[in-house]
Amino acid sequence: MARMKSVEALVKAMKKEGISCVFGVPGAAINPLYAALKEDGSIRHILARHVEGASHMAEGYTRAAAGNIGVCLGTSGPGGTDMITGLYSASADSIPILCITGQAPRDKLDKEDFQAVDIAAIARPLTKMAMTVMEPNQLLSIFQKALYLMRSDRPGPVLIDLPIDVQLAMIDFDENDYVSLRPSKPKAALSQIRKALQMLDEAKRPVIIAGGGIISADAGHLLVRFAELNNIPVLPTLMGWGVIPDDHPLMQGRVGIQTSNRYGNATFLRSDCVIGIGNRWANRHTGSIDTYTKGRKFIHIDIEPTQIGRIFAPDLGIVSDAGEALQSLIELSHERRVQGVILDRSAWVAECEYRKRHMLRREDFDQVPLKPQSVYHAMNNLLDRDTCYVTTIGLSQIAGAQFLKVYNPRNWINAAQAGPLGWTMPAALGVRAALPDKKIVALSGDYDFQFMVEELAVGAQHKLPYLHILLNNSYLGLIRQSQTGYNMEYQVSLAFDNINVGETDDAVASYGVDHVALALALGCKAIRVHRPEDFQRAFKEAELLMETYQVPVVVECMLEPVTNIAMGQELNCINEFEEILCLDENLKAETGWVVNNEG
């Protein structure tokens, strides 16, 4: 047992929990913890330019690999309130991150001291625990509980608020006595698993909806094994994309009113039984519940009891960790095969595969200015199979989900539920910090890029190279398309005549912001692409620049100002704005797709 400052003990406990990297912005009220980190010297610190950026970096770090703990540090007052968007994003997608804030001294908390705000009360609705530590001897037990809660059951963020006098207080601590608590994970009863398999047996056209809970459980391989054993098509959610490779015969696309494949929606609408594993039935996935549920039975497996029946009542609800449930499903499936219970679903799978081959959207445009589809076409053809994509919201993300190919878990990292603009860049830096050898590709529209563009300097300072694909149409594209429902286009154009762009590039000047100059000013490299035939050269040059300078490289793609991306209000009535590659007229009639060429 040794006598030390509480923050010195906290740093030792952080290392015992496996924390090796933190993101943050120092300040007067959190400086004692920074002093302890500096004295220890073994935990890497990455200095953000904005505390919200640091919170998204922590998200990216957690999302990148199983078992990671993203940590964000900030000072009192705005240091904590700046984290709120990150806490919301993490909470919405069930991502465990730890936020630690400095705070005014305990005796000043109710005296309107400088930058004293009740951050625990503000953060509590968005966290699994938010607590101001009032007793120094409780700091380590509160920290231990926070990490237990953030990883148990449905994962999520936590916040610990540290008054400066608590940080400086002396306590007795023996790091050998500190033990990480094993997280709690519910497990399905075998009787429930048997009933689920029986329901699938009775179905003629079953499908699996594979959610992000499978990735959180690091159980993608189990999902593939279960699907193969039972020959059931898989339809991953946006958060579950990557649990099964896009070119696997049982991978049949995504379902939804925006981020979906045509064949994915069509296959879902033909299904008669759905087993959802680790998913939430999010509204962008379902559209209206009446259309989504009509004519099919549902099994819902989720780690959080209150998710069962939240959106609609399933025919069978099972509370379980996705990995535990899949393991049981596999074991009982093996038993059944030994007993001779093998169902022939080859005709159903062949029908789904036929749609996958024929119900495609066109992506091989060669026009200038670029159509966004041609950017994704180039990415599919020129980037590695193990590329990790990072993105948030907007037409760039929606079109990316419609056209890109993903082959592994955690290779699609997306702020799916909250979708805060500006998230992409800091999240990509967090992913890079977690995965130093992986190809990281961020995907942004111009507004998402501009929201937290200052974080590019973090990549330059801390040598965090990644490729940032910037689709520039000088529009708030998704909002512009949404505004058509109100018969207006108002305050959604970002274009202006930039008097500082040289006359040699008039097309760029009319788009407004010179993103190439902006990236260079922040210590990074940038390339501009005008024509489809330039992509191969640009990507090769970007690889060389990243390798040479170890900084982020932006590839700015100059798009036509207006491109409507397929979406709608119902799964059976998606507006298609471009040419449809569908050779079978019966498929068009069967699924009720609408082609809207009027914008």
Q: Cα dist. 256→264, 287, 478, 488, 565 in Å?
A: 8, 7, 16, 26, 13
Pairwise CA distance, residues 362 & 379, whole Å: 15
Run of H or E residues at 59: helix 51-64
Report helix angle 6-16 to 31-40, nearest 10: 60
> Which of 51, 208, 234, 275 is flagged as catalytic?
51
562: annotated active-site residue: no
Give the residue from 304, 271, 249 showing the smallest Cα distance to 199. 271
Residue 587, token pair as written in the block: 């498929």
Beta-carbon contacts of residue 110 (< 8 Å; ≥ 6 apart): none
Other CB atoms within a 10 A radius of the CB of residue 154 amount to 20
Tokens 């790091």 label which residue?
A: 175
Pairwise CA distance, residues 450 & 127, whole Å: 28
Q: Give the DSSP letter of residue 475.
A: B
> Which of 343, 479, 492, 595 is flagged as catalytic?
479
51: annotated active-site residue: yes
Q: Can you say whether the dihedral through the CA atoms of 571, 245, 315, 205 is positive or negative?
A: positive
Collapsing DSSP to helix, strand or coil, 469 comes out as strand
Residue 84, token pair as written in the block: 């709120």
First to last CA, the chain: 71
Pairwise CA distance, residues 401 & 414, whole Å: 10
Give the residue from 345, 351, 401, 415 showing the smallest Cα distance to 372. 401
Please, are residues 39 and 12 in contact by the beta-carbon 8 Å criterion? Answer: no
Run of H or E residues at 121: helix 119-123
Pairwise CA distance, residues 467 & 546, whole Å: 8
Please, are residues 284 and 219 in contact by the beta-carbon 8 Å criterion? Answer: no
Q: Cα dist. 53→72, 243, 423 in Å?
A: 9, 28, 7
> Which of 7, 25, 508, 529 is flagged as catalytic?
25
Q: What is the largest CA-CA distance in the chain?
A: 78
Pairwise CA distance, residues 535 & 439, whole Å: 17
| Size of the chain in residues | 599
Q: Give the DSSP letter of residue 559.
A: B
Other CB atoms within a 10 A radius of the CB of residue 176 amount to 9
583: annotated active-site residue: no
Run of H or E residues at 446: helix 446-451
> Which of 84, 232, 476, 478 is flagged as catalytic?
476
Give the residue from 365, 416, 402 showing the smallest Cα distance to 246. 402
100: annotated active-site residue: no
544: annotated active-site residue: no
> Which of 421, 470, 478, 559 is flagged as catalytic?
421
> Would you please indicate which residues are annotated as catalytic (active-site) residues?
25, 51, 421, 476, 479
